[in-house]
Amino acid sequence: MSLTDLPPGGARAVARCDALAVAPFSDMQGGLFRAYLTPAYAAAQEVVAGWMERAGMQVRRDTAANLVGRYEGALGHAPALVIGSHLDSVRDGGAYDGPLGIMLGIEAIAALNAQGRRLPFPIEVYAFGDEEGSRFPAAMLTSRAVAGTLDAAALDIADAAGVTLAEALASTRDYLAAARAPGATLAYLEAHIEQGPVLEAEGLAVGTVTGIAAQRRYAVTVGGMAGHAGTTAMRLRRDPLAGAAAMVLAVEQVARGDDSDVVATVGMIEARPGAPNVIPGEVRFTIDVRSGAEDRRDRAAKAILARIVEIADARGLDCAVERIHDLAASPCDPALMDMMDAALAAAGQPVRRLVSGAGHDAMNMAALCPTAMLFIRCRDGISHNPAEHVDAADAEIALRVMLGFVERLGESCAS
């Protein structure tokens, strides 16, 4: 069955995500990689724009190259509900991380349009461009631009090939004009795969998100003494890689020992000069610390850094730590969470609330308006991986919940 033969609903949303996971909508052979402002990104925007139009929306691209579809409300001048997620993908990623939220937004509009329904407010569906930050050395440029929180200095960047953002976009002169006007946004809703195992472990299709965890990231450089692997006695070595190994274990030990929602990850490590017969002279690695509460995150981060200094001192190593990322927790709006819970119950789903350990465009949109998020079960909790999977039945449930949420939001505006 082709996409054109599929009836509207959750199954079509999943099928459309699958269709976008292959050429010409991917920048790599044999897998999915769709980076911001690449040919694959443009191709995906083009086909998604067509789906938006067929659902009953007017379509535009803003100055940050976000794709935006608008479905007018009964009161065209009213602030809009924005439904959004991201169209880009990590390298060799999964089909649903980001696009599913966009496709479900389109399906929600298609359902309203088929019924001839107009809410008291317009609805705009945003396909954000670079939530993952897979091309340029910054993430969420486009949602920050829309939220009006992006500094112009952040636009002076280039990708690994030396192509600047201004060259990729032709110009960044009007980039910040993507910001939505004050008072133009009623609320923001994002549906997203959980990217974790909680919903599946509890046999649940969907859940209400309470907020996005606070994140802090560090770059650590450990210096020692390079030397010949065969002639330098063990007792005389100042091996930064051995020291870094102890530090990595300390990161894990501190996070596990906190016995809370704290998670800490060493995601990148590099030993220099990187030869099999040379004791490294320098090692660099990253640390990512997250928690639903900033005080827990900060407590764990402080303990981790103290252990790193302790290990470096004990081994006679130099150590430098740079904080490169610091994001506060982003709680969802309590009233909108209650509406989401009510929509879950009306759809026959148990009410379950959970925090997001991953960052999302919603954390930027929170500076603009109240936010709500809906998590959708993904198989084995796997994401950022070709094995990422969502059942069509779960997507259908998510769509019903989203429509129930929109209905309740409309009732609250009419009362």
Sign of CA dihedral 126, 132, 136, 139: positive
**Helix or strand holding residue 125 (H, E):** strand 123-128
pLDDT of 255 strictly over 60: yes
Q: Could you tell me whether strands 185-193 and 80-86 are parallel, antiparallel, or unpaired per DSSP bridges? A: parallel
Give the Å distances, CA to CA, from 394 to 192, 207, 212, 356.
Answer: 12, 11, 22, 19
Give the model confidence (pLDDT) of 157-180 as tens digits. 999 899 999 999 999 999 999 999
Q: How far apart are CA 315 and CA 60, in angstroms?
A: 59
Written as six digits, the tokens of 191 are 């549906």
ω into 386 cis (within 30 of 0): no
Q: How far apart are CA 245 and CA 243, in angstroms?
A: 5
Q: Could you give the residue ranges of the DSSP H alpha helices within 228-293? A: 240-257
Top mean pLDDT of 4-8, 47-51, 359-363 is at 47-51
Nearest to 184 by CA among 411, 373, 408, 369: 369
Give the model confidence (pLDDT) of 74-116 as tens digits. 987 899 999 999 999 999 999 999 999 999 999 999 999 999 9
Q: Could you give the residue ranges of the DSSP H alpha helices within 59-186? A: 99-114, 141-147, 165-169
- Which pTM was predicted? 0.86
Contacts of 404 (CB under 8 A, 6+ apart): 342, 343, 344, 346, 347
Map out the domains of the chain with their CATH numbers: 3-212+329-414 (3.40.630.10), 214-327 (3.30.70.360)
Give the model confidence (pLDDT) of 211-249 as tens digits. 999 999 999 999 999 999 999 999 999 999 999 999 999
Q: How far apart are CA 295 and CA 289, in angstroms?
A: 12
Give the model confidence (pLDDT) of 295-313 as tens digits. 999 999 999 999 999 999 9
Q: How far apart are CA 415 and CA 18, in angstroms?
A: 40
**Helix or strand holding residue 17 (H, E):** helix 10-19
Q: How far apart are CA 187 and CA 371, in angstroms?
A: 6
Give the model confidence (pLDDT) of 52-69 as tens digits. 999 999 999 999 999 999
